[in-house]
Amino acid sequence: MRTSSSDSAVTAADDEAARLTGLLSEDEGWFPRYRRWLVLALVLLALASAAYVGFTRKQEAAAPRYRTETAAVRKLVVTISATGNVQPTNQVDVSSELSGIVEQVFVDDNDRVRKGQLLAQLDLSRLEDAVARSQANLETAEAQVSQAQATTAETRANLTRFRQLDVLSGSTVPSRSELDTVEATAKRAEASEAAARAAVSQAHAALKSDSTNLEKARIRSPINGVVLTRKVEPGQTVAASFQAPVLFTIAEDLAKMELQVDIDEADVGQVKIGQKANFGVDAWPGRIYQAVIERVGYGSQLKDGVVSYPAVLQVANVDLSLRPGMTGTAQITTLMRESALVIPNAALRYVPATEALPAETQAAPARSGNVLGALLPSPPAAESKTAAPAPDAAGMQRIWVLRDGAAVAVQVTTGATDGRVTEVTGGELQAGMEVITEAVVTAP
């Protein structure tokens, strides 16, 4: 019959047990009876001590330990971040309404200009000819008015003589048809005079229009300021069609600038006119500029799928260190509390394992009742990774404080947050209490 290796091992174990039993049951020999009982007692005592130590360690490992922070009263400053560009408060693009060839340019970049100062001039030859033609037309119209006035005076005199003759002759001379003809001639003369006067007014208007065009060919500055860009050169042809060409860009006052930023839709509700802000630019590392919110737009804009709202921050630029187009990242102060009771945000997210786990998983797993199971420590219970519970209908939220080594629930009402700590505006929490931020899992 073939015997397996497992059967051989069982047989060897049985033989060894029988040998030990026989050794312990011997009444005579080199191992006296009292020494056998002493050894058994010592073995049992060692096993009991090991079981007690294992049980004590397991109890210590099962006892929860917490990481805490102290609820404190301190200054709370809430800020939001927004990025934009520095621009002048008033920037004007100077264009030309007329088409033509640029004859002269009188200013360059960075030149300071005054309102009405001549910046550039187009070729004036055709415009001057048009003015001269309009002036001649006006003089011709005025001469026609004089001629019409003389004709009117003549026809009125004839009409007066015919009427006197009609009265003296008793309406016999002149005939009725002759009298009607003279009256009609007088009316036509008056109408011709009125037409001549209208022609004078029309000639005046044409002369004024041509003179205006002549003046517009001299391009002047509309404001006092600094020339930011010059986009025209002498000899260049300017074509004013549907869109007027930009010849110069002038900033009114570089000592007063504005930072135009985009406020994220999640933050726009916190931004108000008059709030203070600070920002920096790459050109001046370490320098902080102060600004004030001047305007927050209601119109939204969509960039790369992100909705934002334009805002304007007023900035003083007395030393002219800021230049148009510089990029600045602003920190806008939306809330400031001088004395606020604050707790770390981690305290709002902490939930004990017994609160987060379902009831059927809260009980510790059963261990085997043998001595080996008592000696081996249980694995530490995992803390909950759930999100912070939402406030209840009354706006209260539960956090946990450490009191006499135990976690105790406390109801609080929260307010503003700066992203790291949150203001506590009401509830049972007092300054100095140790709030639990997380449970510390100890290694077995």
Point out the least confidently predicted range of 53-57, 139-143, 327-331.
Answer: 53-57
CATH for the stretch 81-89+254-338: 2.40.30.170
Please report the pLDDT score of residue 80 as a whole number: 93
240-251 tens-digit pLDDT: 877 778 999 999
Question: Cα Rg for the chain, rounded, in angstroms?
Answer: 52
Instruction: Taking residues 209-218, report their average pLDDT.
Output: 94
Assess whether pLDDT exceeds 70 at residue 344.
yes
Please report the pLDDT score of residue 281 as a whole number: 95
**3-state class (DSSP) for residue 40:** helix
**3-state class (DSSP) for residue 231:** coil
Continuous segment of H or E residues that includes residue 127: helix 125-168
Distance CA 366, CA 380 (A): 14
Please report the pLDDT score of residue 179 as a whole number: 85
Distance CA 398, CA 92 (A): 58
Query: In the structure, what pLDDT confidence band is assigned to residue 329 with cuts at 50, 70 and 90?
Result: very high
Would the CATH topology of 65-73+340-440 be identical to that of 81-89+254-338? no
Instruction: Name which residue leads in pLDDT, 346 or 37.
Output: 346
Closest Cα to residue 401, out of 426, 354, 435?
A: 435
Point out the least confidently predicted range of 63-72, 120-129, 142-151.
Answer: 63-72
Question: CA separation (Å) from 179 to 50, 151, 192?
Answer: 152, 18, 20
Q: Take residue 340 and report the two structure tokens written for it.
A: 């606020």
Please report the pLDDT score of residue 172 as a whole number: 78
Instruction: Taking residues 122-128, report their average pLDDT.
Output: 94
**Domain range list for the chain:** 65-73+340-440, 81-89+254-338, 92-117+220-252, 124-216
Query: In the structure, what pLDDT confidence band is assigned to residue 385 with cuts at 50, 70 and 90?
Result: very low
87-115 tens-digit pLDDT: 999 999 999 989 999 999 999 999 999 99
Query: In the structure, what pLDDT confidence band is assigned to residue 15 with cuts at 50, 70 and 90?
Result: low
pTM, to two decimals: 0.62
CATH top class, domain 65-73+340-440? mainly beta
Point out the least confidently predicted range of 32-36, 337-341, 347-351, 382-386.
Answer: 382-386
Query: In the structure, what pLDDT confidence band is assigned to residue 34 with cuts at 50, 70 and 90?
Result: low
Distance CA 220, CA 119 (A): 5
Assess whether pLDDT exceeds 80 at residue 378.
no
Conformational region of residue 229, where left means phi above 0, alpha means psi within -120 to 50, and beta covers everything else: beta
Assess whether pLDDT exceeds 50 at residue 222.
yes
Question: CA separation (Å) from 252 to 14, 46, 105, 289, 400?
Answer: 107, 95, 20, 21, 59
Helices (H) and strands (E) in the chain, counts: 8, 20
Query: In the structure, what pLDDT confidence band is assigned to residue 197 with cuts at 50, 70 and 90?
Result: very high
Please report the pLDDT score of residue 386 as a whole number: 47
198-210 tens-digit pLDDT: 999 999 999 999 9
Distance CA 317, CA 258 (A): 9
According to CATH, the topology of domain 92-117+220-252 is OB fold (Dihydrolipoamide Acetyltransferase, E2P) (2.40.50)
265-280 tens-digit pLDDT: 999 999 999 999 999 9
Assess whether pLDDT exceeds 50 at residue 384.
no
Assess whether pLDDT exceeds 50 at residue 360.
no
Instruction: Taking residues 131-147, report their average pLDDT.
Output: 94
Assess whether pLDDT exceeds 60 at residue 6.
no
Please report the pLDDT score of residue 441 as a whole number: 63
Please report the pLDDT score of residue 48 as a whole number: 74
Assess whether pLDDT exceeds 70 at residue 86.
yes
Cβ atoms 279, 291 nearer than 8 A = yes
Assess whether pLDDT exceeds 90 at residue 5.
no
Assess whether pLDDT exceeds 80 at residue 317.
yes
Closest Cα to residue 91, out of 219, 225, 216?
A: 225
Question: CA separation (Å) from 141 to 148, 150, 194, 206, 209?
Answer: 10, 14, 11, 12, 17
Q: Take residue 34 and report the two structure tokens written for it.
A: 């009292």
pLDDT > 90: percent of the chain: 58
Ranges of H-type helices in 376-424: none
276-302 tens-digit pLDDT: 999 999 999 999 999 999 999 999 999
Query: In the structure, what pLDDT confidence band is assigned to residue 393 with cuts at 50, 70 and 90?
Result: low
Query: In the structure, what pLDDT confidence band is assigned to residue 392 with cuts at 50, 70 and 90?
Result: low
3-state percent breakdown (helix, strand, coil) of the chain, nearest 5: 35, 35, 30
Alpha-carbon dihedral sign for residues 49, 50, 51, 55? positive
Secondary structure, 3-state, 241-303: CCCCCEEEEEECCCCEEEEEEEEECCCHHHCCCCCEEEEEECCCCCCCEEEEEEEECCCCEEE
